[in-house]
Amino acid sequence: MAPSLITPVSSAEETTASKVTISKFTPPSYASNAQTREYAESLDRTDPLSAFREKFIIPSKANLKATKLAKPGLSQDESIYFCGNSLGLQPRATSKYLEAQLDTWSSIGVLGHFRDLEDSPLTSWQLLAEQAAGDMARIVGANPEEVAAMGTLTANLHMLLASFYKPTESRHKVLLDWKAFPSDHYAIESQIEWHGLNPKDSMVLIGPDEGEYVISTEKILSVIDEHASETALLLLPGIQYYSGQYFDIPTITKHAQSRGIVVGWDLAHAYANVDVKLHDWNVDFAAWCTYKYGNAGPGAIGGIFVHERHGVVDYSQGEDKPVFRHRLTGWYGGDRSVRFKMDNKFKPIPGAGGFQVSNPSAIDLAALCSSLSVFNKTSIAQIRAKSLRLTHYLEYLLLAGTTDETRKFRIITPSDPNARGAQLSLLLNPGLLDKVAQRLEDAGIICDKRQPDVRCGYL
């Protein structure tokens, strides 16, 4: 397994797009023995986050070959897991949290909605989503009321687009990246068609220059300017899943909004990976999944962000006439004080909570809370700092002793550490992908791959 690394000392630099102070990473100089295991282990010993490794279950090499259910053992023959971008490892706390939820259900049934049990790590079901949202808010740089735990990523994007995509005859276009994750592409395409428009006219794909994989911020701003008068909405990924590029969220957001464009971000690969500041960067809305770097389990419940200015509920016209941003509504988005009155008078929870529709699964929330219990013991700033060092060290090891002419791959992830997350995407020479993938799997190294020739290593 790639070693843990000490948290770096970073300089602070203020972005021009906001008042938020963000950390800038300065790559270190490596010692002459930096390619040795001893060097890596020495860094691991001084890493303040190294103990967090024990909070997760790393599959053994033997279990990776299992054809029947296998219990995680204490085997020292751990696999090397570079696939957190696809599915994060299971926290050791997860089974305890799930068992507590099942025991609550079996012992007190429906009373679990309202009763806290002293020996349970979880609060009552009706408060659980709110608690999880508050914990996620710290990870995405938001106020607690700006975040809701609900649904799954694409469904949540549809819910948000229903509220924020308001095409007119003159402004109907949606700007997205050239290689958006297919589900995002489908969601936008279908939303455009839902409004009776043609995606060929209303979808604008922002791509890199010919032969490149990274889209410069200047290129994005240029495309925004080119289409601004016809554009209703911009939806980009915080981190591009294929290349691993970390977009300049504050700069892009500010520029698009200055042109009258609503700005949303898909944080599927950015949540729990990089230190975003959604509130201070004035993002209109965002959505994310929690099963990648968030470690909440396959298909886990997702999260949304709605900036506080869009979550206001105005009662100036009377208690029975709340005025709020239009959205698709459901009973769980109603204020708890009236949720069980059954009078069919919708009074939304102020903030992102008012965008909830259905009662969230208590089982899903238990898995999410188990992962958040780990994140609550540190900070996204510390995680990001370690990630920057760890990813840079992996890049150093991959490139050491080779040249552009001799190596059989190209790293298409930005070389600037501040412009990427915990990911390096390797573009292999044609015909190598399947062979390399099989050799890695045989050696107990789990990565992800994207056809035709990209192999991605995730930390």
Residue 66: inside a domain: no
- The answer to whether the annotation marks 33 as part of a ligand binding site is no
194 belongs to a structural domain: yes
pLDDT of 19 higher than 50: no
- For residue 409, the enclosing domain spans 11-48+386-458
Work out the pLDDT band at 13, boundaries 50, 70, 90. very low
pLDDT of residue 73: 60
Residue with tokens 């911020």: 217
Residue 7 has pLDDT above 50, yes or no: no
- Residue 331 labelled as part of a binding site: yes
Tell me: the pLDDT tens digits for 413-433? 999 999 999 999 999 999 999
Q: Quick check: 156 pLDDT over 90?
A: yes
Report whether 320 belongs to an annotated binding site.
Answer: no
CATH number for the domain including 19?
3.90.1150
- pLDDT band per the 50, 70, 90 thresholds, residue 336: confident
Q: Is 246 a residue whose pLDDT tops 60?
A: yes
Q: How many domains does the chain have?
A: 2
Q: Which of 19-23, 285-289, 306-310, 367-371 has the lowest mean pLDDT?
A: 19-23
Q: Do 317 and 447 belong together in one domain?
A: no
Nearest to 352 by CA among 299, 303, 301: 303
* Rounded mean pLDDT, 326-334: 96
Distance set, CA 14 to CA 276, 383, 451 (Å) = 14, 20, 38
Strand partners, 306: 285
Judged against a pLDDT cut of 70, whether residue 220 lies above it is answered with yes
Q: Within a domain: residue 434?
A: yes
Cα separation, 98 vs 353, in Å, equals 24
Q: Are residues 311 and 405 in the same domain?
A: no
Beta-bridge partners for 78? 60
Please give the Cα distance from 25 to 393 (Å, whole number). 13
Q: Is 183 annotated as a binding residue?
A: yes
CA 366 remoteness from chain centre: 19
Q: Is 266 annotated as a binding residue?
A: yes
> What is the CA angle 343-348-350, rounded to 5?
150
Question: Which single residue is written with the structure tokens 């009973």?
Answer: 331
184 is in an annotated binding site: yes
Instruction: Identify the pLDDT of residue 337.
Output: 85
The string of pLDDT tens digits covering residues 40-90 is: 999 999 999 999 999 999 999 989 888 888 877 656 789 999 999 999 999
pLDDT tier at 153 (50, 70, 90 boundaries)? very high
Average pLDDT over residues 15-21: 40
Flag whether 291 is marked binding. yes
Helix (H, G, I), strand (E, B) or coil at 310: helix
Q: State yes or no: 182 annotated in a binding site.
A: yes
Q: What is the pLDDT of residue 342?
A: 85
Average pLDDT, the chain: 92
